[in-house]
Structure 1
């Protein structure tokens, strides 16, 4: 695994609800404080590898359950930028 991937995965593994809100605002994704807390619970400490398609898709399904389909579509586009 390259250094860039390790850094991205470490940040994802330690993300806070406030950071979720900050990134959501930056990328114009509508997320409430409660939804951000749920996303934090989903990823914090779970060592999810977004560079693995199966793990990424599982995470996206979980995030969709606590946010919205539109939010997940935008998030998936954001992931695609980092994965290419």
Structure 2
């Protein structure tokens, strides 16, 4: 994660926005006042992070994931080849 001064970020906002969205970069935008520092990330990455947090905080879903992982690790799982389906 790269740190950028606020003035530099503001002057090059369009370029940084493009870089953030195209490369999934995340930037720390700094100011003289440390409490005003922000993190800038793409909406796509933010949405993915929120979904991960929701999944991790859902005990029912996490129990199912853990049970499935335990079953697979103990050899109860079956590996299958993916098949490609043509679009209509």
Same-fold call, TM > 0.5? no
Higher strand share: 2
The bucket for the TM-score relative to the shorter chain is under 0.3
| TM-score normalised by the chain length of structure 2 | 0.23
